[in-house]
Amino acid sequence: MSNFKLTKLKYETSEIDGVYRIKVDIPFDVKFVCVHIFEVDDKLVMIDAGFNTLPWRRLFFKALNELNLKIEDIDYCFVSHEHLDHCGLLKYFKRKNPDLKILMHKTTDESLRFGSNSNYFGRMERNAIKIAKEIESYGMGEKEITRLMKSFLVWPKIVRYEAPNRLLKDDDEISFTSNKLKIIWTPGHSLGHICVFDIKNKHLFSGDHILSHITPHIGVYHISTLINEELSYPNILDLYLNSLDKIDKLNPKIIYPGHQELITNPHERILEIKKHHQNRFKEICRSIESKPLTPFEISQIHFGTDLDDMNKYLALNEILSHLIYLEHQEKVKKFEKDGLFYFSTI
């Protein structure tokens, strides 16, 4: 295992049960992004394509070189989802290795393709106005929303789209001579999120779907809706919890996440995540037992008030996904008063 510093960031390489793991720091709360590389028969498979900044790219290639690998050696790159720390270098990789096969869920492709096309920016700006009104109706302040919408509209402009060689769907299998890689559609952190399951070795590459220490952000997809109004789902938390059960049934041996540490007790970790959400349901219901509140007010109870605009929005979004789930379960009800939506227990 090795560590190297570059512009105050570092990388680390390791090999765990036949899988190479490259960890490269990023200057955000998640600390680092992981790329995993492993061999299937005589083919090399890479999971995710990292973060598109010059320091990150330099460190990644230093790590690759330490493993005596080149990007030209990689045969397949699976993309777990469209967030920029997981698909950032696709175009760069493809330019260096035109034979690289890129695979992703069709919804991830739609999000990246629409979001990177300047012809759609006008439509995105119009959608942003609708989204701003919706967020305001949940109780968030107008000034905060204005700043938030500006940051939303920056995101599509920095996407570098590279067309995939294959679009994936749930339960697809990519066959090799002696093994198969199974695709599990795992919406939640993003609508097109996938996990890749190595059937023979029982390794699960989970992207941001299952992490070792925190639960991934699950929310209503305003950024996806900004790009394409069809890229949304009314009860995303229900899809997420169901996909956890689907993974649990696969009985993986090790989970390799896109951030944080390896998970060597997959069943127990899945139970912990499910318990976390059950506790959040109970906490939300307790907070509105005696008095109806807006989703933003509920988010401040659970996540505090000392947050920047983006984290205020993420907190609101997290609460919304739970409220929508509870509404479908007929545990809470929504009503409108003076232009704002409130929730109360039934």
Q: pLDDT tens digit string along 239-268?
A: 999 999 999 999 999 999 999 999 999 999
Same domain membership, residue 69 and residue 21: yes
21 and 98 belong to one structural domain: yes
Same domain, 19 and 125: no
Position 224 scores a pLDDT of 58
Write the CATH number for 175: 3.60.15.10
| Residue 255: strand pairing partners | 204, 263
CA distance 93 to 102: 10
| Residue 282 domain-assigned (yes or no) | no
The domain total for the chain is: 2
Distance between CA 111 and CA 315 in Å, rounded?
Answer: 23
Contacts of 254 (CB under 8 A, 6+ apart): 16, 17, 202, 203, 204, 262, 263, 264, 266
User: Average pLDDT, whole number, for the chain?
Assistant: 91
Its pTM surpasses 0.85? yes
Same domain assignment for residues 179 and 138: no
Q: Using an 8 Å Cβ cutoff, are 5 and 53 in contact?
A: no
Query: Looking at the structure, do residues 123 and 210 belong to the same domain, yes or no?
Result: no
**pLDDT (tens digit, 9 = 90+) per residue, 174-229?**
999 999 999 999 999 998 999 999 999 999 999 999 999 999 999 776 665 665 66
The DSSP bridge pattern shows strands 19-25 and 2-6 to be: unpaired
Same domain for 211 and 269? yes
User: Which residue range forms the structural domain that includes residue 328?
Assistant: 117-154+288-345
At 2, is the pLDDT very low, low, confident or very high (cuts 50, 70, 90)? very low
The last residue of a domain, from among 227, 252, 277: 277
In a domain, 283, yes or no: no
